[in-house]
Amino acid sequence: MKLSQYFLPLLKETPNDAQIVSHRLMLRAGMIRQLQSGIYNWLPLGLRVLKKIETIIRDEMDKAGGLEILMPTIQPAELWQESGRYDAYGKEMLRIKDRHEREMLYGPTAEEVVSDIFRKNIKSYKDLPKNLYNIQWKFRDEIRPRFGVMRGREFLMKDAYSFDMDFESAKKSYDSMYKTYLKIFKRMGLKVIPVQADSGAIGGNLSHEFQVLAQTGESEIYYEKELETLLLQDEIDIEKLQKYYAAADEKHETQENKLPPHKLNKTRGIEVGHVFYFGTKYSKAMNITVKNNKGEDVFPEMGSYGIGVSRLVAAIIEANHDENGIIWPDSVAPFKVGIINLKTNDESSTKMCDEIYVKLREKNIEVLYDDREESTGAKFAAQDLIGTPYQIIIGPRGAAVGKLELKKRATGEKVEMLPEMALGKLV
């Protein structure tokens, strides 16, 4: 992509309505624009990151045996009346009427809809276990939408739902999602602590939240210090992991077996995922049954597993930035490489830029070539701000001897080299 042809409305000034760094940087880097309170337009750069995150989640969900479906954003009120949550959900639910005065809503989550799919199509123990997931926009009319996409009203969520014949099998499904979440967040370069959680309006008892450590997080979290070392291991023994103490907010306040303060790390976290088992809550309420191997009707055991896809964009920035801007982990970067042409009217510099641009594209490396007639300072600032992991810098002095500079955004380290060598490093 050539920057002269892209749509990247960068802001020089820090927007003063944005309180946290990720919100400021997402606006300054031209990733998002607010349409209404808690409702955002995703511009090209922001959307690229959102899609990268989605792809990682989809890949790991599929590997874990999840089956992707797509449920509508608009749901009928009847299903929620059946489960008993229509009134309980309160003002966070956006309620709508169609032209026939039928009550509908913009889905804040999809337990009811997925349960309805299940009961109409799955009848036998032979079809279980099943894990159905979707990546779809949700709406919650949050009382205080804030911090940009971190707490929006409309937001993108991956929500998965497991169905099992008995508790033992349901616990396996739960543990499999728990492990999958650790993998997903690791691939995004995030350090995440799974903490015990209250299951809130959705109900249940086996419940963990995945928290990204960040001072701007809305949750207060407490965890045993050793947990960090355990989480660094490649193959994590989750049985062992779950024995360590880790809890957030009220769950910690109400814990009876709290650890002494010197054993605990107290910090703040951003909840990026939530897994919970809620047994037969919905299957009983909505009269969903499957035949077991004796021909008897049983209520399937369910769990649900959410990830805040759009919130993750902000959470990753909270965890990866400096005073100049964003520092994307390679796995979610909108572009892997930026090319900076220091002198657009110098023939040899431009020729070299054009050539490496073509070669990078041939090798399917995502590249943003700053070919604008802007000051050098503005070009450096732009690439630093948008967080491109690698920058290729080409000017007349280097071009004269056929060399470019390769800069690593995370460390600021710059090395002069031949284009072939840079290509070798980037592929």
User: Where do contacts with ligand ATP occur on this chain (CB under 6 A)?
Assistant: 109, 140, 142, 151-152, 155, 157, 200, 271-274, 306, 308, 310-311
Angle at 337 between CA 211 and CA 366, to 5 degrees: 85
The secondary structure of residue 401, as a DSSP letter, is T
Closer CB to ligand ATP, residue 109 or residue 176? 109
Task: Provide, rounded to whole angstroms, the least separation between the CB of residue 307 and ligand ATP.
Answer: 6
Closer CB to ligand ATP, residue 118 or residue 155? 155
Q: Enumerate the β-bridge partners of residue 338.
A: 368, 391
Q: How far apart are the first and last CA of the chain?
A: 17
Task: Provide, rounded to whole angstroms, the least separation between the CB of residue 406 and ligand ATP.
Answer: 36
Closer CB to ligand ATP, residue 128 or residue 190? 190
Task: Provide, rounded to whole angstroms, the least separation between the CB of residue 332 and ligand ATP.
Answer: 16
Closer CB to ligand ATP, residue 196 or residue 289? 196
Closer CB to ligand ATP, residue 155 or residue 357? 155
If DSSP codes are grouped into helix, strand and coil, which group holds residue 269? Answer: strand
Task: Provide, rounded to whole angstroms, the least separation between the CB of residue 384 and ligand ATP.
Answer: 27
Q: Nearest-CB residue to ligand ATP?
A: 308
CA distances from 186 to 180, 183, 198, 232, 251 (A): 10, 5, 24, 9, 25
> How far is 398 from 361, CA to CA, in rounded Å?
22
Closer CB to ligand ATP, residue 209 or residue 371? 209
Task: Provide, rounded to whole angstroms, the least separation between the CB of residue 275 and ligand ATP.
Answer: 9
Closer CB to ligand ATP, residue 271 or residue 384? 271
| Cβ neighbours for 251, distance < 8 A, ≥ 6 positions apart | 195, 196, 197, 198
Task: Provide, rounded to whole angstroms, the least separation between the CB of residue 304 and ligand ATP.
Answer: 8
Closer CB to ligand ATP, residue 313 or residue 404? 313
Task: Provide, rounded to whole angstroms, the least separation between the CB of residue 194 and ligand ATP.
Answer: 12
> How far is 152 from 50, CA to CA, in rounded Å?
15
Q: What is the CA radius of gyration of the chain?
A: 24
In terms of C-beta density within 10 A (0-12 exposed, 13-18 middle, 19 or more buried), how is residue 180 classed?
buried
Helix spans in 64-166 (H): 77-83, 85-88, 111-121
Closest CA to 165 of 258, 288, 8: 288
Task: Provide, rounded to whole angstroms, the least separation between the CB of residue 271 and ligand ATP.
Answer: 4
Task: Provide, rounded to whole angstroms, the least separation between the CB of residue 259 and ligand ATP.
Answer: 24
CA distances from 307 to 53, 106, 182 (A): 11, 18, 12
Closer CB to ligand ATP, residue 311 or residue 409? 311
Helix spans in 64-162 (H): 77-83, 85-88, 111-121
